[in-house]
Amino acid sequence: MEETIAILDFGSQYGQLIARRVREHKVFSRLCRHDISCAELKKLNLKGLILSGGPASVYAEGSPRCDPDLFTLGVPVLGICYGMQIGCELLGGKIGMAHAREYGSTRLRLTESDGLLSHLAGEKTVWMSHGDQVRELSDDFISLGETPTCPYAAVRHNKVPFYGVQFHPEVTHTPCGSQIFQNFLYEICQCRGDWQMGNFIEQACEKIKSQVGDATVICGLSGGVDSSVTAALLHRAIGEQLVCIFVDNGLLRKGERDHVESTFRDHFQLDLRVVDWSERFLTRLAGVTDPQQKRTIIGHEFIEAFTHEADRIADVKFLAQGTLYPDVIESGHKDGNPAANIKLHHNVGGLPEKLGFELVEPLRDLFKDEVRLLGEHLGLPEALVWRHPFPGPGLAVRVVGDVTRERLDILRDADEIMLEEIRAAGLYRGIAQALTVLLPISSVGVMGDDRSYENQHVVAVRAVQTQDFMTADWVHIPYEVLGRISSRIINEVRGINRVVYDISSKPPATIEWE
Instruction: Write out pLDDT tens, residues 457-481.
Output: 999 999 999 876 777 899 999 999 9
User: Between the CA atoms of 368, 373, 375 and 379, what dihedral angle is there, to the nearest 10 degrees?
Assistant: 170
- Nearest Cα to Cα of residue 169 among 157, 186, 161, 181: 181
* Maximum C-alpha span of the chain: 88
Residue 311, judged by CB atoms within 10 A of its CB (0-12, 13-18, 19+), counts as exposed
B/e letters for 184-194, b = 16+ CB within 10 Å, e = fewer, are bbbebbebeee
pLDDT for the residue 17: 87
Phi, psi for 478 (deg, rounded to 5): -55, 145
Tens digit of pLDDT for each residue in 67-126?
999 999 999 999 999 999 999 999 999 998 887 777 888 999 999 887 899 999 889 999
3-state DSSP helix/strand/coil % of the chain, to nearest 5: 40, 25, 35
Residue 113, judged by CB atoms within 10 A of its CB (0-12, 13-18, 19+), counts as middle
What gap in Å lies between CA 147 and CA 295, rounded to an integer?
A: 52
pLDDT for the residue 286: 96
Catalytic option among 3, 34, 66, 81: 81
Least confident of 177-186, 233-242, 354-363: 354-363
- Look at strands 216-220 and 94-110 and give their pairing: unpaired
Average pLDDT over residues 315-321: 91
Residue 359: pLDDT above 80? yes
Catalytic option among 102, 170, 301, 421: 170
To the nearest 10 degrees (0 to 180), the angle between helices 225-238 and 197-212 is 70
Residue pair 50/8 in contact by the 8 Å Cβ criterion: yes
What gap in Å lies between CA 277 and CA 437, rounded to an integer?
A: 23
Q: State yes or no: is 81 an active-site residue.
A: yes
Residue pair 249/407 in contact by the 8 Å Cβ criterion: no
> What predicted TM-score, i.e. pTM, was given to this entire model?
0.77
Q: State yes or no: is 25 an active-site residue.
A: no
Catalytic option among 34, 157, 168, 333: 168
